[in-house]
Structure formats: structure tokens, C-alpha cells
């Protein structure tokens, strides 16, 4: 609220778009119109407006007595339903030797246009008037610009010292800008961070995106900002807890830690016999698929919720759940064809740091990797309003999910009696490229196919046409 000394300064100034003085104590329409006009802030100054009751036009105190009834009547304007959206305002009484003043301080609305009984009032200099159609359109456009996503809003309780500024300067900014641009940028760090929406100039504090991505202790400001891993014995949450961990901290630290944990703590591989003399390696889950799901959970979660990202592992499946259902244009009927970003600043930073690509193909890639590894498709629960959940089923000893084992057997018996290795050897009677072999065997991910099936055959059954350049793009494979 404004101080008494500032009130005296306003009294001595001329009446402007920020100040309206009146000696009336009963003209409620006049008061409501003034408050509506201040809330609309037509000049876009983002400065508070003041309705001063008990002051004459020349700035002198009229000598009225402001009692509790008048205070309650003016304060009730805020929530009586005549001014919508509800204005942000405070009311205070100031006493002077000449009499009392009642001051209503009104903050510019983030959701203009504000209407009093259906009409939009604005201040044009010292005069109050009804907005024209063009002026209403300007206010409506301003409303869209004010409606920032949560990650773009200021974290008012944080300071610059709560960010890992050294990492941002040394590692992140060089990813965003080229070397010449950084060398010529003479602005201070606050201005640099503000240019990429990690700092709020008006409130002199980091945005929530800055805290989430580079905060020294994000969990202090966002209680649910962590990943909870639990390994349950059995196939449901009623089993004993075999392992439990929490992953917290800024995303630039937490994401690589999560990647390492998935690779070392969740993914397992084992040899499975295919014939009497041949084995192949089977993974319980494709590492890339689990990584993709966790990256998406960190990118799309509702950071205002206190629920952490849940990574629950059971004997035969993994559950990933994060707060916040489908957002914006994404709906159950168009998922996963249409996507939207709840946290666009976080998403862009993760793209810059090479954790995601923002091509809207994450779900498709997950399903492809699961199929190539012998897992059934991931099950996405998109009907929950407040959360997003996905279940991924593991492969069994034969390298297939229990859900798809019977289907896989019948399909392969009807289509071919050959193993994939036998198909490769037969197909390579003539020189074939990696992509040709993978396509022939029904695989789309060449890298996984080469590591899992092609490389084990080299030297014993296959040979390279360019052995001294194994990674040549002209490389082909031929049966020995």
C-alpha cells in the first residue's frame, strides 16, 4: 500500500491517468468506473492507479470523516460482481489535521479488458471515458500477451544467487548464442538471462524456468520438483519395496543422472539361446524408450503440483506418471498426433541441451523401439485430467513380452521358419547395405539392428566389403 508521504505528493500533483480525486462519499457508480479504468491501464504504464476520496480538485483535504462503514463499502466494490474480472486493489484510511482521506489503490489487471456492468472504462489523461471498439481490441490483445505460461512467471521469493550463474555463463549461454554474439554482448547477467526468459526484469527475480533448469535448490521453491523411483517386488504396489531413490536438483544436473540410473539400474541384458550353437542378447526394456518417456515427463509435467514424477518398477512392467494431463491443443481424441507445451521455456532449454528434439515424434519413437526389442506397445492413459501415465511391459526369458508371446509365435510360424540371423545370412549372398538388410528384416532403427544382430555375425558368417573403413557410408556386407 502507498505511504502517507506519497499521498501528499499525489495531492500536490495534477490529476492524471493514475489519480482521481473526489469529495463525494456516496457516488458508487463513479467509484466503480474509476477503479475499472485504473485496472484497464490503457497507457500500459503497469503503474498503480489511485482513487482518493476526501480530496478537492486543487489537492486540498476536504475535511470529511472516513468511518468503518465507508471503508467496508469501498472495499466491497472489489467482489460485488459488478467489475469483472475482479480487480486487484487495497483500501486504506489516512488521517490529516484537516480531515481524513480514503485511498483505493488499484493494480493494472493482467486480464484486460475489465468491465463495469458490461462496459469498459479507461483513463485518457485526467479524463475517464468508455473505451471504443478499437481500444477494447488493444486491451484484448494485451490480455493474450500477459497470459504467460507458469515457467515464464516470476519466482518472487527467489534471487539471482539462487541460480547457478557460473554454469549458465560457462555452458548454457554458449549453446544458445554463437561466440561472436556473446563476445559483443556487454549487458549484465540479469539482462542476458532476461533475454532468454530466465529472469524477470519487472520483479528483479528469476522466472520459474530459471529455477527449474538452473536453480541451486529447485525443490525449495517447488516441493514436487523431483523424480521418485520405487522398485516393488511382484506385480503391484502391494509388494515389498526392494529399492527407493529420489532424484532432485536442476534439470541440467538431474537429467544426466536419470540417464545413468536407467542404463545401470533398470536396463538388464542376458543371453538367450536361439539354436544349439547360437545365442542372442535380450534387453528387458530398450534404454532409449525409457529415457524418452522420462524426458517427456520432465518437460510436460505440471510444476505447480506437489506430486513428484513417479518411476515405479515392478517384476514385469514400469509405470511412469507425472502431474498434469494433456495440455492445450492435445486431447484424448487427437493424442499423439497433436501436441502442445505446458512449459515452453523448459522444453526449449531441453532442446538446446540436446535432451529432446520437439519434433512431436517421441511417442512414435518409443513404440518403434519397444517393437524392435520385443516389447508390446506402451499403454498411455490420457483420460486422467490431473495426471499422465504410461506403462511399459518387459520382455521375458525368450525376449518377448508375455502379452505378445503367443502372437509372436503364431506369426513367425506362419511367415517364416528362419531366425533373423539366418535371414541376414541368406540375404547377404550378394553385397547389401545396413539399411537394406534392416528393411528386409523389418527393422527401422539401423543402429539397434546393427548392434543386436549384424555385428555378432561379422567374422563368422559375414564380411565387410570395405573392412578398413567399418563406418563408411558405402559399407556393405557379404556372406563369407
Return the pLDDT at 416. Answer: 39
Higher pLDDT, 399 or 77: 77
Return the pLDDT at 191. Answer: 93
Return the pLDDT at 255. Answer: 95
pLDDT for 393 beyond 70? yes
The three-state secondary structure class of 331 is coil
Work out the number of other CB atoms within 10 angstroms of the CB of residue 293.
22
Planar angle of CA 276, 281, 283, nearest 5 degrees: 140
Work out the number of other CB atoms within 10 angstroms of the CB of residue 188.
9
pLDDT for 36 beyond 60? yes
pTM of the model: 0.64
Contacts 24+ apart (CB under 8 A), 128-134: 128/20, 128/33, 128/34, 128/37, 131/40, 131/42
Give the neighbor-by-neighbor strand order of the sheet with 83-84: 83-84, 115-116, 119-124, 127-130
Q: How far apart are CA 30 and CA 402, in angstroms?
A: 74
In this structure, what are the phi and psi dihedrals at residue 35, rounded to the nearest 5 degrees? -65, -40
Q: How far apart are CA 258 and CA 264, in angstroms?
A: 10
Alpha helices in 331-431 (DSSP H): 344-352, 362-373, 405-415, 420-427
Q: How far apart are CA 209 and CA 188, in angstroms?
A: 19
Residue 406, all three cell numbers:
503367443
pLDDT for 402 beyond 70? no
Return the pLDDT at 15. Answer: 65
Find, among 300, 340, 338, the residue nearest to 321 by Cα: 300
Contact 343, 222 (CB under 8 A): no
| Sign of the CA dihedral with 111 first, then 114, 120, and 125 last | negative
What's the pLDDT tens digit per position in 139-181?
A: 988 886 667 789 999 999 999 999 999 999 999 999 998 889 8
Return the pLDDT at 130. Answer: 95
pLDDT band, residue 38 (cuts 50/70/90)? very high
Q: How much is the average pLDDT of 65-92?
A: 93
Return the pLDDT at 344. Answer: 92
Return the pLDDT at 76. Answer: 93
Residues 6+ apart with CB under 8 A from 277: none
- Dihedral (Cα; 14, 18, 20, 25), 10-degree rounding: -150
Find, among 424, 441, 440, the residue nearest to 477 by Cα: 424
pLDDT for 294 beyond 90? yes
pLDDT band, residue 417 (cuts 50/70/90)? very low
Contact 103, 61 (CB under 8 A): no
Q: How much is the average pLDDT of 254-280?
A: 85
pLDDT for 233 beyond 90? yes
Q: How much is the average pLDDT of 373-388?
A: 88
| Residues constituting the chain | 480
What's the pLDDT tens digit per position in 343-371?
A: 999 999 999 999 988 778 889 899 999 98
pLDDT for 378 beyond 80? yes
Q: Over pLDDT 70: what percentage of the chain?
A: 93
Buried b (16+ CB within 10 A) or exposed e, 441-472: eebebeebbbebbbebbeeebbbbeeeeeeee
pLDDT for 208 beyond 70? yes
pLDDT for 43 beyond 60? yes
Q: How far apart are CA 230 and CA 234, in angstroms?
A: 12
The three-state secondary structure class of 405 is helix
Instruction: Please state, rounded to an integer, the average pLDDT across all residues of the chain.
Output: 88
Return the pLDDT at 413. Answer: 39
Amino acid at each position: 500500500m502507498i505511504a502517507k508521504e506519497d499521498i501528499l505528493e499525489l495531492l500536490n500533483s495534477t490529476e492524471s491517468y493514475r489519480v482521481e480525486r473526489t469529495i463525494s462519499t456516496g457516488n458508487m457508480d463513479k467509484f466503480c468506473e474509476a477503479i475499472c479504468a485504473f485496472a484497464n491501464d490503457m497507457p500500459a504504464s503497469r503503474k498503480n492507479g489511485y482513487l482518493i476520496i476526501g480530496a478537492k480538485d486543487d489537492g486540498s483535504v476536504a475535511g470529511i470523516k472516513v468511518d468503518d462503514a465507508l471503508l467496508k463499502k469501498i472495499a466491497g466494490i472489489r467482489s460485488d460482481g459488478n467489475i469483472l474480472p475482479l480487480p486487484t486493489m487495497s483500501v486504506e484510511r489516512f488521517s490529516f489535521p484537516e480531515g481524513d482521506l480514503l485511498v483505493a489503490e488499484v493494480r493494472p489487471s493482467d486480464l484486460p479488458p475489465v468491465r463495469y456492468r458490461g462496459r469498459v472504462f479507461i483513463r485518457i489523461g485526467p479524463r475517464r471515458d468508455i473505451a471504443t471498439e478499437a481500444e477494447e481490441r488493444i486491451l484484448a490483445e494485451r490480455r493474450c500477451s500477459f497470459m504467460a505460461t507458469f515457467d515464464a512467471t516470476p519466482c518472487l521469493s527467489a534471487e539471482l544467487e539462487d541460480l547457478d550463474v557460473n554454469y549458465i555463463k560457462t555452458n548454457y549461454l554458449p549453446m544458445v548464442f554463437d561466440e561472436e554474439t556473446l563476445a559483443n554482448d556487454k549487458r549484465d547477467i540479469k539482462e542476458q538471462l532476461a533475454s532468454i526468459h530466465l529472469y524477470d526484469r519487472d520483479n528483479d527475480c528469476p522466472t520459474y524456468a530459471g529455477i527449474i533448469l538452473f536453480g541451486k535448490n529447485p525443490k525449495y521453491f517447488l516441493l514436487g520438483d523431483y523424480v521418485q523411483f520405487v522398485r516393488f517386488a511382484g506385480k503391484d504396489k502391494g509388494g515389498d519395496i526392494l529399492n527407493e531413490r529420489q532424484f532432485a536438483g536442476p534439470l541440467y544436473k538431474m537429467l544426466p543422472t536419470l540417464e545413468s540410473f536407467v542404463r545401470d539400474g533398470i536396463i538388464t541384458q542376458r543371453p538367450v539361446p536361439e539354436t544349439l550353437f547360437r545365442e542372442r542378447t535380450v534387453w528387458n526394456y530398450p534404454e532409449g524408450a525409457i529415457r524418452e518417456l522420462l524426458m517427456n515427463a520432465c518437460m510436460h509435467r505440471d510444476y505447480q503440483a506437489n506430486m513428484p514424477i513417479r518411476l515405479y518398477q515392478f517384476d514385469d512392467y514400469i509405470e511412469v506418471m507425472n502431474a498434469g494431463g494433456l495440455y492445450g491443443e492435445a486431447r484424448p481424441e487427437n493424442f499423439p498426433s497433436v501436441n502442445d507445451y505446458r512449459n515452453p521455456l523448459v522444453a526449449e532449454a531441453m532442446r538446446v541441451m540436446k535432451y529432446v528434439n520437439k519434433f512431436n515424434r517421441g511417442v512414435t519413437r518409443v513404440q518403434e523401439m519397444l517393437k524392435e526389442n520385443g516389447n508390446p506397445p506402451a499403454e498411455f492413459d490420457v483420460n486422467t485430467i490431473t495426471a499422465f501415465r504410461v506403462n511399459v511391459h518387459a520382455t521375458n526369458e525368450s525376449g518377448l513380452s508375455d502379452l505378445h508371446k503367443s502372437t509372436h509365435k503364431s506369426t513367425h510360424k506362419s511367415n517364416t521358419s528362419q531366425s533373423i540371423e539366418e535371414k541376414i545370412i541368406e540375404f547377404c549372398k550378394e553385397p547389401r547395405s545396413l539399411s537394406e538388410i534392416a528393411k528386409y528384416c523389418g527393422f527401422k532403427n539401423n543402429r539397434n539392428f546393427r548392434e543386436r544382430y549384424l555385428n555378432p555375425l561379422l567374422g563368422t558368417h559375414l564380411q565387410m566389403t570395405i573392412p578398413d573403413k567399418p563406418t563408411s557410408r558405402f559399407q556393405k556386407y557379404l556372406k563369407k
